[in-house]
Structure 1
């Protein structure tokens, strides 16, 4: 998915730090701010049963979560990749995701083994927001994390030589870069 930087929203203009001091440009992000950002990025999203925002794609879901107490609150983008692997695949998966984690800043990716024995990949990026964060930093970080989550999915398919469904035109399904109509 390609995000046009001009699509990053201007949330009513930021206060002039010289007029109001350095803390004036700091905000404490909330779910409404993330919803505005996702709408501006033209990403479909839902609110799940736990109250978290989720943006579904064909092969994964990205969740936008707020956790923790006031001054220690964390904002996380956690991506659950739906492609199942077996326990026997774990050594190869660990090699591949170790390579990704060494080369990139985010998302950090790890494996999770379900009770049924299937293994899934999970990516995560976090930011401490409890005392406030610069709005521009928050927006650009969130956009970058979404982009990186999408890039990881493409990268792991290439790296592991996984076959993707091919549509009638011969292109890989889901390469359009949108998060589909399944929201």
Structure 2
């Protein structure tokens, strides 16, 4: 089975890390919603701007938001919400799975939240970019947030019994 096209674009589109300083002398620029949107468009991803002004879309059926937080919108957060919800009675089991994930991996931060009588699983990658960010750094952060969030949700699929298809919304990337 091959990886979805968007996943190949995320994981295969960046140069391999090197141990030497890259020759790119691009100075860091302020983080803006337009720069995040340009990255997403450049990768061929589909997204919308929600009622709060945040960029959002779905990847493998799960919703992701690209948030600019902080007093000067200097904090980038890629937040994903698993397309499945769980009964509150499964809190202990899903908390153990999330704890294992957080113990064994750096990204994304994973957590469970009760919403309207059910459990929702979230993934987050955040970075304080008060000093600015280069295009390469921004691309790496966005790819990390999407890639690791999707990996978390895929790892939960075999652990938690299926409860049906994801709700239709924004077209999947």
Q: TM-score range by the shorter chain?
A: 0.7 to 0.9
Residues 155 and 16 (structure 1), Cα distance of their counterparts in 2 relative to 1, 3 Å cut: closer
RMSD over equivalenced CA pairs, Å: 2.9
Q: Work out whether 1:103 is the aligned partner of 2:104.
A: yes
Matched residue, 2:171: 181
Instruction: State the secondary structure of the residue aligned to 1:27.
Output: coil
Q: Would you say the 8 A contact 1:7–1:40 is kept in 2?
A: no
Shift of 1:101: 0.9
- How far apart are the structure 1 equivalents of 2:24 and 2:149? 33
Matched residue, 2:138: 138
- How far apart are the structure 2 equivalents of 1:87 and 1:6? 38
Q: Would you say the 8 A contact 2:65–2:78 is kept in 1?
A: yes
- How far apart are the structure 1 equivalents of 2:55 and 2:89? 33
How many residues align? The count is 159
Q: 2:27 aligns with which of 7, 25, 28?
A: 25
Q: Would you say the 8 A contact 1:26–1:134 is kept in 2?
A: yes
TM-score for both structures, normalised by structure 2:
0.79
Instruction: State the secondary structure of the residue aligned to 1:83.
Output: strand
Q: Which deviates further from its counterpart, 156-165 or 93-102?
A: 156-165
Shift of 1:161: 5.1
Residues 180 and 51 (structure 1), Cα distance of their counterparts in 2 relative to 1, 3 Å cut: closer
**For structure 2, which runs of at least 5 residues remain unmatched after alignment?**
15-22
Shift of 1:43: 1.2
Q: Would you say the 8 A contact 2:58–2:64 is kept in 1?
A: yes
TM-score for both structures, normalised by structure 1:
0.75
1:87-102 correspondence runs (5 A): 87-102=88-103
